[in-house]
Amino acid sequence: MNALPATPMDEGRAALIQALGSRSIVFVGLMGAGKTAIGRKVATMLSLPFMDSDQEIESVSRMTVPELFERYGEPEFRALEQRVILRLLDNGPQVLSTGGGAFMNAQTREAISAHGVSVWLKADLDLLMERVSKKQNRPLLKNPDPRGVLERLMGERYPVYATADLTVPTRDDRKEIIAGEVICALCGHLGVVAIATGATSATTDEAES
C-alpha cells in the first residue's frame, strides 16, 4: 500500500525541526503566562517531546515546588532548578517550559542560548492576575498584595525576558492560536517558510471554554 503524500504542513514541520537541530524550544515568562499549556500545544503540533522543568524538579526531589520553597528557601530551589534545566537541555529537540524565575539566572540563560531557542510569552498584568488567582500553588504570591508582587516581578523580570530570542504576546484566546503564532515566529527566526497551522482566532467565550 502506497504511503499518503506529505502535506505542506508535514513538510513545513520537517523543515522547522531540521532547522532546529538538537536545540530545544524553551518557553520563558511569568507565572500565568501559559508556558506549560502553550508549550504542550506547540509540542503536539510539531510532534516533539514536551518537558516541564517544575514537574521534573518535583519528580527528582519528590517534593512539590511550594514545599521546596518552604523547606529550603528560594536560593536553594533556584540552584536545583538550574541543574535540572541544564540536564534537560541535553535532550533536544524538544519543547521545554521553565519556571518564572529560571531565565533570571545568567548561567541558565547562557545554557538556553547555547542549546535552545528561547520564547518569551509576554502577558499583561490583568491577564496574569486572572490566571494566578485561580491557583493556590504559587509560593511567590503568598502575600497580602499579590497584584503588587506581580507588578514588582514584571518590573524586575520583563527587561531580562526581553533578551529572549523571540517575544510572542499572549492573551485570552485559544491555545491553538497562540501556539500557531509561536510556530510562525520560530519559522521566521530559523529562516523556514511559515507553517499553515489551520488555527483561527476565537472569541473570549471560545477561549475560556
Mean pLDDT of 88-92: 96
For residue 41, give the amino acid letter: K
| Predicted local distance difference test score (pLDDT) of residue 70 | 87
* d(C-alpha 44, C-alpha 98), whole Å: 18
Mean pLDDT of 146-170: 95
Whether the per-residue pLDDT at 146 is higher than 90: the answer is no
For residues 195 and 159, the model is more confident at 159
Q: Which fold has domain 34-190?
A: Rossmann fold (3.40.50)
CA distances from 166 to 32, 84, 162, 187 (A): 18, 23, 8, 11
Neighbours of 185 (CB within 10 A): 17
Q: What is the pTM of this model?
A: 0.87
Backbone conformation region of residue 138, classed left if phi is above 0, alpha if psi is from -120 to 50, else beta: beta
For residue 192, give the amino acid letter: V
At residue 133 the predicted structure's pLDDT band, cuts being 50, 70 and 90, is confident
Mean pLDDT of 180-205: 74
Mean pLDDT of 115-130: 95
- The predicted-structure confidence for 47-86, as pLDDT tens digits, reads as follows 999 999 999 999 999 999 889 988 998 889 999 999 999 9
Mean pLDDT of 26-38: 96
Whether the per-residue pLDDT at 141 is higher than 70: the answer is no
Smallest CA-to-CA distance from 121 within 206, 13, 7, 37 is with 37
| Predicted local distance difference test score (pLDDT) of residue 90 | 96
Contact 208, 173 (CB under 8 A): no
**Residue 127 CB partners (closer than 8 Å, separation 6+):** 32, 170, 171, 172
